[in-house]
Amino acid sequence: MSIPPNDASPQQGYGAPQQPYGVPPQEPYGYPAPVAQPTGSNGFAVAGLILAFFFAPLGLIFSIIGLAKSNKAGKGKVMSIIGLIVSLIAIAVGVAVFALVGTKVAKALDSGCTSATSTVTSTSDKMSADSGSPDALKADLKNATDQLNTAAAKAGNADAKSAITALAGDYQQLYTALSTGTAPSADLSTKIEADAKKVDDACGHNLGS
């Protein structure tokens, strides 16, 4: 009697390695498992770069946060660095402009400078109106000299004080020449213009033009 063929699949031999339960199958030899790439966005980097052009201090903060998050998010590092640089430059420029404007405002508000500017302007107008009267011109020059000396005493910075005092001396020389009937020095007109320019520079006004 013949034995019927056994169609059953061959069983795994005893002692063959079994795949542990719950452990994922291993990749074939020579084919490493793909490394998962970091995902996500870096909104701080984007916001930092945008704010760097409009409000640099906040742009600086956001760029620093974006740079710190760039390793985890996997993006935004270059954008954060650019935002950081732009913010620092904008802050530096802003500080320089603020210092310059603040200095000019402080000079313009100096009481000595304000008085000197008013004196020079009013004296110029009076002398133009009184050009036909030597006595009136002498009075204008005398008043201007006294007022400039008073303004110099009130000046808050040394440069303004020195420049206003020099201009008062020029007016005094012109008054003396007119009072004694002698010709003023040939360079007095140039000196008055130069000293007025010094007052202009020290006070932030426009007396020399």
**The predicted structure's pLDDT at residue 143:** 92
Angle between helices 77-108 and 56-73 (to 10 degrees): 170
Which secondary-structure segment (H or E) carries 8? none
Boundary (domain end) residue, out of 61, 83, 107 = 107
Assigned token pair, 179: 């009072």
Residue whose pair of structure tokens reads 């802003």 in the numeric block: 94
**172 and 121 co-located in one domain:** yes
- Per-position DSSP letters for 94-119, written without gaps between them: HHHHHHHHHHHHHHHT-HHHHHHHHH
**The predicted structure's pLDDT at residue 146:** 93
Is residue 17 included in any domain, yes or no? Answer: no
**Cβ–Cβ < 8 Å for 80, 59:** no
Number of H helices, E strands in the chain: 7, 0
**88 and 172 co-located in one domain:** no
Give residue 135's domain range.
110-203
Boundary (domain end) residue, out of 107, 137, 153 = 107
**The predicted structure's pLDDT at residue 67:** 84
**Cβ–Cβ < 8 Å for 56, 94:** yes
**145 and 186 co-located in one domain:** yes
Quote the pTM value: 0.51
Give pLDDT tens digits along the chain (209 positions): 455 555 554 455 445 555 555 555 555 555 555 554 555 567 788 888 888 888 888 888 888 888 888 877 678 888 888 888 888 888 888 777 766 665 666 555 677 888 888 888 888 888 888 877 888 888 988 999 999 999 888 888 888 889 999 999 999 998 898 888 888 888 888 888 888 888 888 887 544 44
CB atoms within 10 A of CB 103: 11
